[in-house]
Structure 1
Amino acid sequence: MSADVVQLAEQAGPYLTTAVSAYGVAVFTRAESAAVDATANLGRRILQAVWRRRGERGRAELEAAVQNAAQAPDDEDAAAAVRQQIKRALREDAELLAELARMLPAAGETVTVTASGERSIAAKAIGTAVTGDNTTIRP
């Protein structure tokens, strides 16, 4: 197994665990929630990226692992089963490996983003953000 796969799966672990705790099995269908912290939202994006690139059987296996982990949040074996599904997907899909590497912060990198004040926006990276009333966005 590639060291990159193992490292990425281990690095993703806390994000996956937090996402499963916050969203449960709905992690595959839910949109990002402002009420959920950035760690859970990153975990959700990782799980959704893996889920989208798996076949029917791979999706079912990942869903089962996530459901087990959601039902037993303190069970390290259940969390490990989710990471194992991620590793399997990464070994089979080099593009997915690259996509997840771009999603995860670099090893040792700490990102702190703070928003303060009315209509403030805080993000490490952002596409379009609107904080005003009656705004029209044109392409």
Structure 2
Amino acid sequence: MTGKGDGESGFEMGVEIVELIEQAGPYLTTALGAYGAGVLGRAESAAVDATANVGHRILHAVWHRRNAQGQAELEAAVRDAVENPNDADAAAALRQQIKRALRDDEELLQELAGLLPAPRGGSVTVTASGERAIAAQRIGTAITGDNATIRP
């Protein structure tokens, strides 16, 4: 992957950032719930579940890579998200702070990607139930019923 400065549009990196933020969302939410607004100032806790600790590590990594102004902005976004846990705008503002940090620092992007579990690949379970039910992961054409006619 190359950055914007290498003559590339930055689209690929932007897509990767969006995907990482989407994958990190549940970890961040759990960390804010477990640690509260002090998440940036507290050490990781053995009493907190692994999901919250991954979110904690993500926030710490971003915070440590920011300048003083960036740290203050991240702290404010964390505080707002903790104080308003059902406010989608507060959560979005926190995600935006993280996206901004990732756009500015490709090393941080790689570090955070390493903190998250690899997306699950492999097997997919598809279930169909009921008379004449069909199930498929990928399918071109499926026809069910009696006396079906296919015409080119």
TM-score (norm 2): 0.68
Other structure's SS at 1:8 match: helix
Matched, 1:44 2:56: yes
Match of 2:97 among 78, 82, 85: 85
Per the TM alignment, residue 85 of structure 1 is displaced from its structure 2 partner at its CA by: 0.7
Which amino acid is 1:77 matched to?
Answer: D
Other structure's SS at 2:62 match: helix
Matched, 1:34 2:51: no
Partners of 2:93 and 2:31 lie apart in 1 by: 15
Match of 2:37 among 15, 25, 28: 25
Which amino acid is 1:86 matched to?
Answer: I
- CA shift digits 1:1-21 (9 cap, x unpaired): 511111111111111111111
- CA shift digits 1:50-103 (9 cap, x unpaired): 000001111111100000000011112111111111111000000000100111
Which amino acid is 1:28 matched to?
Answer: L
Which amino acid is 2:59 matched to?
Answer: L
Q: Which runs of 5+ in 1 are unaligned?
A: 110-139
Per the TM alignment, residue 32 of structure 1 is displaced from its structure 2 partner at its CA by: 1.4
Partners of 2:58 and 2:29 lie apart in 1 by: 11
Residue 59 (structure 1) aligns with? 71
Q: Which runs of 5+ in 2 are unaligned?
A: 1-10, 122-152
Matched, 1:100 2:144: no
Identity of aligned residues (%): 66
CA-based RMSD of the aligned residues comes to 1.2
Matched, 1:11 2:23: yes
Partners of 2:93 and 2:36 lie apart in 1 by: 15
Of structures 1 and 2, the one scoring higher in RCO (CA 8 A, sep 6+) is 1
Structure exhibiting the larger radius of gyration computed from Cα positions:
2
- Runs of 4+ in structure 1 deviating by more than 2 angstroms, as ranges, are none
